Structure 1
Amino acid sequence: MSASLSVSIEGWDNGKPIPGKYAFGVPAAEGHVALSDNLNPKISWNDAPEGTKSFAIICHDTDVPSAGDDVNQEGKTVPEDLPRVDFYHWVLVDIDADRSEIAEGEDSKGITAKGKAPGKQGHGVTGINNYTDWFAGDADMGGDYGGYDGPCPPWNDSIVHHYHFTVYALDVETLGLEGTFGGPEALAAMQGHILASGSYVGTYSLNPDVPA
């Protein structure tokens, strides 16, 4: 069993609503949703155990509808009892062991149509998030979405969405991942290498009748 990392995020209290500047979309009077600042939040960690050789960060939403039939449809509501699945918003691995934070905006500043290229960055190696799947086939937005892209849950969902930012301390300098790997691939590569982990949670909603 792995030990616990102490993880903190500037911008909101653990378990509380995520401010709009860290989101992909914010509520709008017309059209329900407007694009937002899409900044990654400042995330920091400490209490890494001896032997830590790198860190990884995974952010995922655990409340995404498993079927899209009612998503963002006028006159409909995504039912509360619909089974939910994971949606990955940030996959970052091979963070140097001497780092203890990712600064606000270091991984994402604004929305990049067709996505940011994944791969080696100054702060680690980014994988793709699930906006890659969401925008697949969209002539204006389709592409590989590397690094962080923030919350934008259905504006007609009946439940609040929960975003789990998890930091992992690993016993390897690199997971050897490259190209368009995502959250599942990163988590699979970490198995057997996790020395410690810790999470910080934020909530978000675009439905005015379901406050976060």
Structure 2
Amino acid sequence: ADLPRVDFFHWVLVDLAPERSSIAEGEFSEGVTARGKDGPEAAGGARQGINNYTDWFAGDPDMGGDYFGYDGPCPPWNDSIVHHYVFTLYALDVDRCPLEGVFGGPEVRAAIAPHVLGQASVTGTYSLNPDVPA
């Protein structure tokens, strides 16, 4: 599969306390939950938006739902192009993301754009295809 590359949000997390210095494994999510995880409230006063598995599984009677929180990578096994996963943390000049209700990654990007003081990103690569070095 050589699907065109698009942004696919695996996790949308906002309102992390500025004094937080780490996130423990499984603190916000453990595994994929059919029909999605609860949200948007999350640990420590944070909020989680819906990830793109909400769109991916839309219309599927067994898996469809609102996928809040983190759901990890699962690229097509036969994809001939390595997948890049970008984790970005933003420092803002506001205490709370100016969104309410259900929101996704594109909405967060637009809402925080005028409030970004700085950002840091790290990129990882992954593939399920043994012929594609990640």
TM superposition score normalised by structure 2: 0.93
- Quick check: which has more Rg, 1 or 2? 1
**Alignment counterpart, residue 32 of structure 2, candidates 111, 118, 124:** 111
SS in 2 for 1:185: helix
Instruction: Give the equivalent residue in structure 1 for 2:17.
Output: 96
Instruction: Give the equivalent residue in structure 2 for 1:54.
Output: none
**Alignment counterpart, residue 77 of structure 2, candidates 155, 163, 169:** 155
1:207 pairs with 2:129:
yes
1:176 pairs with 2:63:
no
RMSD of aligned residue pairs (Cα, Å) = 1.3
State whether residues 108 and 147 of structure 1, in contact with CA within 8 Å, keep that contact through their aligned partners in structure 2.
yes
Instruction: Give the equivalent residue in structure 1 for 2:7.
Output: 86
Long gaps (5+) in structure 1: 1-77
SS in 1 for 2:8: strand
Q: 1:132: Cα distance to partner?
A: 0.3
State whether residues 38 and 68 of structure 2, in contact with CA within 8 Å, keep that contact through their aligned partners in structure 1.
yes
Q: 1:208: Cα distance to partner?
A: 2.0
Instruction: Give the equivalent residue in structure 2 for 1:133.
Output: 55
TM superposition score normalised by structure 1: 0.60
1:28-107 aligned at under 5 Å gives the runs 78-79=1-2, 83-107=4-28
Higher helix share: 2
State whether residues 118 and 179 of structure 1, in contact with CA within 8 Å, keep that contact through their aligned partners in structure 2.
no
Q: 1:151: Cα distance to partner?
A: 0.3
SS in 2 for 1:186: helix
Q: 1:202: Cα distance to partner?
A: 1.0
Long gaps (5+) in structure 2: none
Q: 1:144: Cα distance to partner?
A: 0.5
State whether residues 10 and 71 of structure 2, in contact with CA within 8 Å, keep that contact through their aligned partners in structure 1.
yes
Instruction: Give the equivalent residue in structure 1 for 2:111.
Output: 189
Aligned residue pairs, count: 133
1:146 pairs with 2:68:
yes
Aligned-pair identity (%): 68
User: For 1:193 and 1:100, how far apart are their aligned partners in 2?
Assistant: 21
Letter in structure 2 aligned against 1:96: A
SS in 2 for 1:89: coil
Higher strand share: 1
1:121 pairs with 2:47:
no
